[in-house]
Structure 1
Amino acid sequence: MPNLSRPDWEQRIRAGQSLLPDVQPVNPELAAKAVKIFDKLRIPDVIGQPTFGEAAGDWFRAIVSVLLGSLDPVTKERLIRELFLLVPKKNSKTTNGAGLMMTAVMLNERPNAEFLIVAPTKDIADLAFKQASGMVRADRGLQRRFHIQDHIKCLTFRPTGATLRVKAFSPDVMTGVKPAGVLVDEEHIIALKSDAESVMGQIRGGMISQPEAFLAIITTQSDKPPRGVFREDLLQARAIRDGKSHREADDGALIPVGNGILPVLYEFPGKIQQPAKLPGEQAPWEDVRLWSMVLPNAGRSITVKRLEEEYENARAKGIQELARWASQHLNVEIGLALRSDRWVGADFWLSASDPDLTLEALIDRSDVIVAGIDGGGLDDLLSLAVLGRDRITQEWMHWGKNWVFEGILELRKREASQLKDFETQGDLIIVSTPGDDIEQLADVLETVDMSGKLALVGLDPMGVGAVVDALAVRSISSPRVVGVSQGWTLSGAIKTAERKLADGTLVHGARPIMGWAISNAKVEPRGNAIIITKQAAGYLKIDPLMALLNAVTLMSKNPSPPEGGRIDDFLKGGMLSA
């Protein structure tokens, strides 16, 4: 099996060199033939319809050579079974992909072989078929060798009977198909679908019986934090590129990386990918001089000058549009999906992260701890926020845990893959039996209470009876368990949290589920106050954030540990309000 790593990729991408691994095609004659076929294809939507040989970049020609030339001439087994290409928009992604598949069809020797282009939407599928069929219509020789069936988006190569079909992504895309080659376009969009993991599994499973089969994934970065099957394929491709035999899972376990996967990722090195430290400042990737690193087709289908104009327009529209633009045109990975009506604290969230902050570390460093609880309905997350006060620096430290009833995965299909990611990352527990979530939450708080530092537990007073009972069994009860008023009365906690995030005195464990919840939050003015409510968020979940705000309300009262004797002083008057 060839070594497909490129551990020196950062130096090479800075120097504008090839990102492909240092391997030679196992079948050089077949590789040369593939490039020859590819170069003769005409680009149908460019003035003059030049050939790929005249207009395509060497970067993609090299991919055609390495991937299609990896078929062992003796065993007829393909040694490179997958391609993962991450490339920004306007770099001829769809056109090059169509050219790759047309080349594969004509190179294929298996009678009646089946090739597929799978697109996330009908519009993208239509575009892919238009490009592939356009290549046939632009060449008289190909017109004689191919039969075009526009109504079913199918091209048949007459000499072998091989077909190239273009389909929109759906659960039945693989019905009755044993593909010799599949191209998946824009996997980051496909990953948003609830059945994405299952269908991608079917595609890979359908290739097993064909030793020469290959899967090519060609995609841009996601305009939201990567999730689902796209996130998994992206992480695996990065691990292979970096020369790792294993990659670390979200729970710390080591996962072997796949063999036979060709990773080609046009993305900035980590330091350049970083967001701006403060709102209004420029991020490292906003330096126009760096953009050519991730634009392999610069000077052909796109120019840096054109991107500069689009960048200025996006920046003028605000941080939300700028982040979306950067993800699509520069492959900048979004850490937090920001909204135009977002909570101000979201702008400072990423800069306030401490990935080493575990619950154990929080307990050890704190002189006092409070906890906030939110949610718990069968359509909600049950969220726990533990907030500690550092005994030396006095900064506030946040750690969280969440639970959800398994029925929500069926009820909220659009968020199912995201919730499964959080489960894998260890921040969300999916329970099958109602009540298990409350018992497990109470167990966590019992562990915290054993430190002798748990001063208060605050929660929405509506529908909390079962939680209060579970805590009482563990000797956590009134006066330490209190109701926290919701709605506009949380305005003080909202403003306190955003100020402390901005000045660096509130830190958190950099957990993706909190970033997701904060991305979902909408701020609404209410008189002289501001509110963040579940009603405003709609179907999007903000329970982890609401739990944090409940905890902030308590910590704002400057509590002491239970044995300090000061808790009753500010509990007089009953329910706490912000």
Structure 2
Amino acid sequence: MGFVAEALARRFAEPDWPLFACPDWAERLAQRRSLIPDALRELLDQKEAARAVAIFNKLRLPDVPGQPTMAEAAGEWQRDIVRVLFGTIDPATRVRILREIFALVPKKNAKTTGGAAIMVTALLMNERPRAEFVLVGPTQEVADTAFQQASGMVEADEFLRTRFHVAEHTKTITDRLTKARLKIKTFDMRVATGSKPAGILLDELHLMASMADAGRVIGQLRGGMIANPEAFMVIITTQSDRPPAGAFKAELDYARGIRDGRIVADVATLPLLYELPEKMQRDGSWRDPAHWHMVLPNAGLSITIERLAAEYRAARDKGDEEERRWASQHLNVQIGLALHTDRWIGADYWERQADAGLTLATLLVRAEVIVAGIDGGGLDDLLGLTLVGRCRDTKRWLAWSKAWAQPIVWERRKEIAAELDGFVEDGDLVRCEHPTQDLQEVAALLVTVQAAGLMPETNAIGLDPQGIGALIDECVQQGLPEELMTSVSQGFRLSGAVWTAERKLADGTFVHADQALMVFCVGNARVEQRGNAVLITKQTAGKAKIDPLIALFNAVFLMSRNPEATGGGMDAFLNRLAAAA
């Protein structure tokens, strides 16, 4: 039994074997060491791995003077992909232990060129007659670039010109011996139609993820791989220039879980994530070029740190928004808030004030009093609810939010559908199954808070005065006193609440639950100055959604009145329950 066969047998017997985990990844990046885990490297079919790397190294860059070989031009990270991709197939059964690779690599590290070389190598390593290999680009331009690189590598080598037939009009390269084909395509639903690929490479997943049905297309591609036991999928992508969402967020979170050892069972994916530790991304350490070598595996080849430093200075001089966008693309710094020049000032402090331990349950325990803010519009808007409590110990304000949306929101706002799906998965957004589900669930949640004795006697629930009749009726029907509810004037009259929230965020006396939904809403908020007032409205935010943020401002307006709970708080509520028992 060979190395790979032994690994397959052990994998079957021990599904919790952390074969692909790399817990010392940060240390490896700092020392510019390979991210291939030692356990996996030891199990490779070294002969096949070396043969694949030798083929890869002989390919030539078609668009560089002198047409250097990949041995000269490629970073070791690309050879790592080739090494593990073709060294993890059992020679007897042709079953692959490593089915997928997820590589997160910044721009200018020759991702597209390297991807083309990997797929040409796959054609040459392939033994399956009429096998189909697919390289998918997010746009026509990227797909064209990938094809020009792959076909250029064929044209640059006399042997390959004889071995392969290149069809420019269909972007196809065919092996004359095995009839296997490499197709370069643009990402859409047709990519997965009727496909049973032996190998797939997805270039720039973060761009694909913003497209409609991206997750479903990727799922269908995976389904097509089942027919071939040696099939593989390689994803090579840059970090998103917006907060990760949809299929990209799902794949990235999964890869991080494997890398960190949190996800072990039934794993067949190798994560190669060139990103700085979260602490360095949050505290601004990423701005120091001394750390950049950690995330630039092609440094000294396709890019230099000196050149990047000059580009960074230019981006920084253009403002925060451009600086963060640049960092996301060139250093894989994950954007938490899509900052823009007319942003709400509170956005600058939002991420810092997140409390991962704050949930609805902990809010009910920690708060001495709670008020609610609600905002929503038509059926194509979110219905946002934010609870703001005053901590009984520290007197800091604590905020927790939730939202509801009707199915029509996904139909009319396809450009944010991926983000919405992510919030549903997080549990912070409810996709309603019937028209009144949102009203009923909001009212029920408010009843829970009021029953706990945490609301003031009056002015406990602040609502936009427009279109609130149905919600008030539902609240009254579920037993909430009507005097708990009060209208909160919107527009410039809400300026005081906006200023209060941003000041308390800045001085650290306002914390919020760590929710991607609110990061999305805060990032969407745009400010319009009118005289001495500021407006944060749905109109200025455009198509993006900010309803839960407006709900937060409504709650802040009420908390600014320094309310007192009439029921004695959670302790009194629990005592009443005990007495009743």
Determine if the alignment matches structure 1 residue 473 to structure 2 residue 477: yes
Residue of structure 1 in register with 2:572 after alignment: none
Q: Which runs of 5+ in 1 are unaligned?
A: 247-255, 277-282, 565-578
Please report how far the alpha carbon of residue 116 of structure 1 lies from its aligned counterpart in structure 2 after TM superposition: 0.5
Mean CA deviation greater in 356-365 or 382-391: 356-365
Aligned counterparts of 1:155 and 1:502: Cα–Cα separation in 2: 57
Instruction: State the one-letter code of the partner of 1:319.
Output: D
Amino acid at match of 1:438: L
Kindly provide the CA deviation profile for residues 257-300 of structure 1, in whole angstroms up to 9, marking residues without a partner as x: x52211111111222121x4xxxxxx111111010011111000
Give the AA of the match of 1:368.
V
Deviates more, 1:311-320 or 1:554-563: 554-563
Give the aligned partner of residue 238 of structure 1: 256
1:25 & 1:58 partners in 2: Cα distance?
Answer: 19
Structure-1 separation of matches of 2:21 and 2:527: 46
Distance in 1, matches of 2:220 and 2:565, equals 55
Match of 2:304 in 1: 303
Indicate whether 1:76 and 2:80 are aligned.
no
The superposition leaves residues 483-528 of structure 1 with CA deviations (integer Å, 9 ceiling, x where unpaired) of 1111111111111111111001111011110110011111001122
Partner Cα separation in structure 1 for residue 79 and residue 418 of structure 2: 35
Q: State the shift of 1:25 in Å.
A: 5.4
Q: Which residue of 1 aligns with 2:579?
A: none
CA distance in 2, matches of 1:232, 1:172: 22
CA contact (8 A) 1:369 1:454 kept: yes
CA distance in 1, matches of 2:192, 2:366: 54
1:286 maps to 2:287: yes
Instruction: Specify the SS of the correspondent of 1:560.
Output: coil
Once the two structures are superposed, what CA deviation does each residue of 1:341-382 show, in whole Å capped at 9, x if it has no partner? Answer: 110000010111111112222222222211100005210111
- The answer (yes or no) to whether the contact 2:373–2:551 under 8 Å persists in 1 is yes
Which secondary structure does the structure 2 equivalent of 1:263 belong to? strand
Which residue identity lines up with residue 463 of structure 2 in the other structure?
A: L
Instruction: Report the residue type matching 1:170 in the other structure.
Output: D
Amino acid at match of 1:264: L
Please, which moves more after superposition, 454-463 or 409-418? 409-418
- Compute the displacement of 1:537 (Å): 1.0
The residue that corresponds to 2:119 in the other structure is 101
SS in 1 for 2:101: strand
Shift of 1:207: 0.4
Partner of residue 571, structure 1 = none
1:557 to 538, 541, 561: 561
Alignment of 1:355-370 (within 5 A): 355-370=356-371
Q: Alignment partner of 1:300: what SS?
A: coil
User: Partner of 1:213 in structure 2?
Assistant: 231
Distance 1:82 1:474 in 2: 51
Q: Does 1:347 align with 2:312?
A: no
Residue in 1 aligned with 2:273? 265
- Structure 1, residues 113-170: CA drift from partner, whole Å, max 9, x if none? 1110011110100110011011011112211111111111111111111111100000
CA distance in 1, matches of 2:366, 2:157: 72
Match in the other structure for 1:112: 130
Q: TM-score, normalised by structure 1?
A: 0.92
- 1:58 and 1:475 map into 2 onto residues whose CA distance is 66
Output the CA distance in 1 between the equivalents of 2:253 and 2:367: 35
Counterpart selection for 2:155 from 132, 137, 154: 137
Report the residue type matching 1:520 in the other structure: N
Q: What is the distance in 1 between the residues matched to 2:201 and 2:533?
A: 52
- Once residues 530 and 87 of structure 1 are traced to their aligned partners in structure 2, the CA distance between those partners, rounded to angstroms, is 40
Give the SS at the match of 1:118. strand
513-522 vs 332-341, greater mean Cα deviation: 332-341
State the match for 1:184 in structure 2. 202
TM-superposed CA distance for 1:21, in Å, is 1.4
- Output the amino acid matched with 2:384: S
1-side partners of 2:226 and 2:557: how far apart? Answer: 57
Residue deviations 1:418-440, cap 9 Å, x none? 11111111101111101111010
Alpha-carbon distance between aligned partners in 2 of 1:351 and 1:4, rounded to the nearest angstrom: 32
CA distance in 1, matches of 2:85, 2:520: 37
- Kindly report the root-mean-square deviation, in angstroms, between the aligned alpha carbons of the 2 structures: 1.4
Whether the 8 Å CA contact 2:129–2:178 is kept in 1: the answer is yes
**For 1:472 and 1:324, how far apart are their aligned partners in 2?**
47
Aligned twin of 1:4: 20
C-alpha separation in 2, matches of 1:62 and 1:381: 46
Q: Which residue of 2 aligns with 1:377?
A: 378
Q: Residue type of the partner of 1:85?
A: A
- Corresponding residue number in structure 2 for 1:493: 497
- Structure 2 residue runs without a partner (length 5+): 1-7, 12-18, 569-581
C-alpha deviations, 1:387-434, integer Å up to 9, x for none? 111223221110111111122222221211211111111101111101
Q: Structure 1's 392 and 31: CA in aligned 2 closer, same or farther, altered over 3 A?
A: closer
In the alignment, what sits opposite 1:253?
A: none
Pairwise mapping of residues 128-527 of structure 1 onto structure 2 (< 5 A)? 128-245=146-263, 256=265, 258-274=266-282, 276=283, 283-455=284-456, 456-527=460-531
Partners of 2:350 and 2:429 in 1: how far apart? 20
- Rounded Cα–Cα distance in structure 1 between residues aligned with 2:368 and 2:87: 64
Output the amino acid matched with 1:492: G
1:25 and 1:66 in contact (8 A); partners too: no
Say if 2:26 is the partner of 1:18: no
Report the equivalent of 1:37. 55
Q: Which amino acid in 1 is paired with 2:423?
A: F
Q: CA-to-partner distance for each residue in 1:37-66, whole Å, 9 max, x for gaps?
A: 111100112221100112222232122111
Which residue among 45, 54, 77 is the counterpart of 1:27? Answer: 45
In structure 2, give the amino acid aligned to 1:409: W
Report the secondary structure of 2:108's partner residue.
coil
Q: Is the 8 A contact 1:167 1:173 kept in 2?
A: yes
Tell me which residue corresponds to 2:76: 58
After TM superposition, give the deviation of residue 452 of structure 1 in Å: 1.5
> Does the 8 Å CA contact 1:468/1:477 hold for their aligned counterparts?
no
CA contact (8 A) 1:376 1:383 kept: no
Report the counterpart of residue 573 of structure 2 in structure 1. none
Contact 1:80 1:260 in 2 (8 A): yes
For residues 198 and 365 of structure 1, what CA distance do their matches in structure 2 show?
41
Cα-to-partner distance string for 1:420-469 (whole Å, 9 max, x where unaligned): 11111110111110111101000000000012121210101111011111
Answer whether contact 2:367 2:389 (CA < 8 A) is retained: yes
Please give the alpha-carbon distance, in whole angstroms, between the structure 1 residues aligned to 2:567 and 2:20. Answer: 60
Distance 1:377 1:518 in 2: 21
Range moving further from structure 2, 438-447 or 3-12: 3-12
Total equivalences in the alignment: 547
Q: TM-score, normalised by structure 2?
A: 0.92
| 2:482 aligned counterpart, secondary structure | coil
Q: Is the 8 A contact 1:84 1:237 kept in 2?
A: yes
Q: Could you tell me how far 1:563 is from its partner in structure 2?
A: 6.5
Is 2:126 the partner of 1:126?
no
For the residue of structure 2 that corresponds to 1:98, the secondary structure is helix
Larger mean CA deviation between 401-410 and 427-436 belongs to: 401-410
What does residue 249 of structure 1 align with?
none
